[in-house]
Amino acid sequence: MPHDPDPPPAKKFKPGSPFFPTNKKPGMLLPKKGNAPSTVDVQRKQLPIYQAKSQLIDQLRQLHNAVLIGETGSGKTTQIPQYLYEAGIGRQGIIAVTQPRRVAAISLAGRVAEEKRTQLGKLVGYTVRFEDVTSPETKLKFMTDGMLLREAIGDPLLLRYTVVILDEAHERTVHTDVLFGVVKCAQRKRKEQNKIPLKVIVMSATMDVDLFSQYFNKSPVLYLEGRQHPIQIYYTKQPQSDYLHAALVSIFQIHQEAPPSHDILVFMTGQEEIEALARTCRDIAKHLPETCGLMIVIPLYASLPPAQQLRVFQPAPKGCRKVILSTNIAETSITISGIKYVIDTGMVKAKRYNPDSGLEVLAVQRVSKAQAWQRAGRAGREASGSCYRLYTENEFDNLANMTVPEIQRCNLAGVMLQLLALGVPDVLNFDFMSKPSPESMRMAGEQLDLLGAVERKDDQVSLTPLGKKMACFPLEPRFAKTILISPDFSCTEEVLTIISLLSVDSVLYNPPARRDEVLAVRRKFISSEGDHVTLLNIYRAFKKVSGNREWCRENFVNSRNMGLVAEVRAQLRDICIKLGLKLESSLSELANVRRCLAHGMFANAAELQPDGTYVALDTHQTVAIHPSSVLFQAKPAYVVFNELLHTSRCYMRDLCLVDADWLQEAAPEYFRRKIHTAKS
DNA sequence: GAGCACTGC
């Protein structure tokens, strides 16, 4: 270990209160703990929730709304749908259980089908994007919240469903938040119209219970105890100025004192810092005395190739400790067993949205209390554990209670389009659980107006025929618009490819250590027309070799993401066919494609200034070409770009060369005073 | 001349 004059922070830790995630409240439903289960039925009966079964069924039978608080391991998500079904509640229709994530919906459906001893897709099924494993027999349906939202466009009263269970509600994704309003409205209207009632059950891990209960007509809150083990929380005595150093010292403090089978999970903010700390840890571990056990350091973040992500699940060799350095992916998406110690830096990298500038900023910031508890909980899944917080108890007390709901920190154009498609009459006064700012609502309305998606009649906003078609696509409004106008430029096939490429994580793989190789091999795809055309070239080359994996490796193309592009493209193409769009290809005439992009993305245009800088025409802010763009060294007079990202400067990413004429013809009124210098 | 957490339709 490097020489360090300060005592290690772990020595400076002081114990906080032991953490039991659910506050015991009067009237709560108490479980009995069981031993190792043998069969599926026995397992079901040994879940904490089983003891409360009949009481729960009685309550849920009578209630139209209920909020269920239950920790992980309580069995609420798998059992409650079955209890309802077995008790004959909601049998006239389907019981839907929504999840924020695809994998969760799929695996829960699998688990419940197994418990019901039926083939997946019969009584129990799931629906996620690209996969519908249901049949007319399906009564218990697991689905992503985004999927139910999309279904609601065709059926705003959700008449196929008798019960909707909104699970993981505490995560407050945009989709869940919009669904809150949709199910509440459907419930009220069905009552008014004397239709079969809709039961709404909100499930949450912890926190903001009052908000849920208030929103759903002061519905009763039921508490379920889980199988979480106690976790001892430690805080530092002094604030830490360098959380990375504090993490490093804490890791080795634990490593030297704890039994080797006890694994450590460290929550950090991003790839770069994780890889750097991993290297340091490995270096230090090499020079430890032999009395100290071995250590295996495993980085974990989303952009890691799948094979490397799987390493976190492999048990460490005997006598060796696993130290996992992870982003917040390990908070919810990836659950690792055997974690005894959690080290929480208290920091997270998150996107913030500024509605005034339309700018997204990715910044390191403090976690919320809810997030800190979620992180701590990862240490107590199989046995009791410890969580070392690299901040003081006072600092903890000053954290925000919960993370700001996503709906209050994102661009709302898509949400507003969807609400209008749902037939919500007064979007500005939609019954949100947490209202977005009027400013971001106004911005969204303006964006839709510019795209020609909405029209105003006597203060009422409604969708134009174009807007209705835009809402059919699972895309940002401007992307949907670009596809819809592509037949005018006879290039729908190319635009479908480009929009699909922009809708998934990057298909370009850029390992920094092999930078020169990457540049050399990518040269053959590069187009002076910009990044969109370059991406199109790569996709065409990929198709030519039928998606050959070897080709992907040689050309530094991410084959998983390329596969996803093909799926998205097929889905979008289907929608085009349903809408009767003419599918033409412009082949080598790529100016058509650029002209189409100019028409669809004109609000994201920038103009070269005499001094060599760029100005975004929409907001007049100074922007720059991101060095990763193929146009970085070029100085085109006009470009459209895919997004602005504020880091060291305000960068445009994914650029396409366009003519000023095209922008003017796309939105003459809008550009009348905006374009002033010479045309390109 | 930069460097980007995580989901989802």
pLDDT at A74 over 50: yes
Listed as ranges, the nucleotides of chain B within 7 A of a protein C-beta are: 1-9
CA angle A419/A422/A428 to nearest 5° reads 30
**pLDDT, tens digit, 9 for 90 and up, residues A610-660:** 988 999 998 888 999 998 899 998 999 999 999 888 877 889 999 999 999
Q: Which fold has domain A44-223?
A: Rossmann fold (3.40.50)
CA distances from A242 to A245, A345, A390, A391 (A): 5, 10, 9, 11
**pLDDT, tens digit, 9 for 90 and up, residues A442-496:** 889 999 999 999 998 877 889 999 999 999 999 999 999 999 999 999 999 999 9
A6 pLDDT tier (thresholds 50, 70, 90): very low
Please name the residue whose C-alpha is nearest to the C1' of nucleotide B8: A146
Quick one: which of A503, A518, A508 has its CA closest to A557?
A508
A350 Cβ nearer than 7 Å to chain B strand:
yes
* Smallest CA–C1' separation from A128, nucleotide: B9
Q: What is the 3-state secondary structure (H, E, C) of A327-383?
A: CCHHHHCCCCCCEEEEEECCEEEEEEEECCCCEEEEEEEECCHHHHHHHHHCCCCCC
pTM of this structure: 0.86
Most confident of A100-104, A304-308, A511-515: A100-104
**pLDDT, tens digit, 9 for 90 and up, residues A192-212:** 999 999 999 999 887 568 899
Q: Which residues in range 74-103 of chain A are in contact with strand B, contact meaning CB within 7 A of any of its atoms? A: 100-103
Most confident of A45-54, A331-340, A524-533: A524-533
Please name the residue whose C-alpha is nearest to the C1' of nucleotide B4: A362
Q: Which residues in range 625-644 of chain A are in contact with strand B, contact meaning CB within 7 A of any of its atoms? A: 626-628, 632
Q: Which position has the higher pLDDT, A281 or A3?
A: A281
The distance (Å) linking the CA of A276 with the C1' of B1 is 22
Please name the residue whose C-alpha is nearest to the C1' of nucleotide B3: A272
Q: What is the DSSP letter of A31?
A: P
Q: Which position has the higher pLDDT, A23 or A664?
A: A664
Domains A44-223 and A231-406 share a fold: yes
Residue type, A617: L
CB atoms within 10 A of CB A481: 25
The distance (Å) linking the CA of A610 with the C1' of B1 is 21
pLDDT at A29 over 50: no
A530 Cβ nearer than 7 Å to chain B strand:
no
- Per domain, the residue ranges of chain A are 44-223, 231-406, 411-427+438-472, 477-678
Top CATH class of A231-406 equals alpha beta
pLDDT at A293: 84
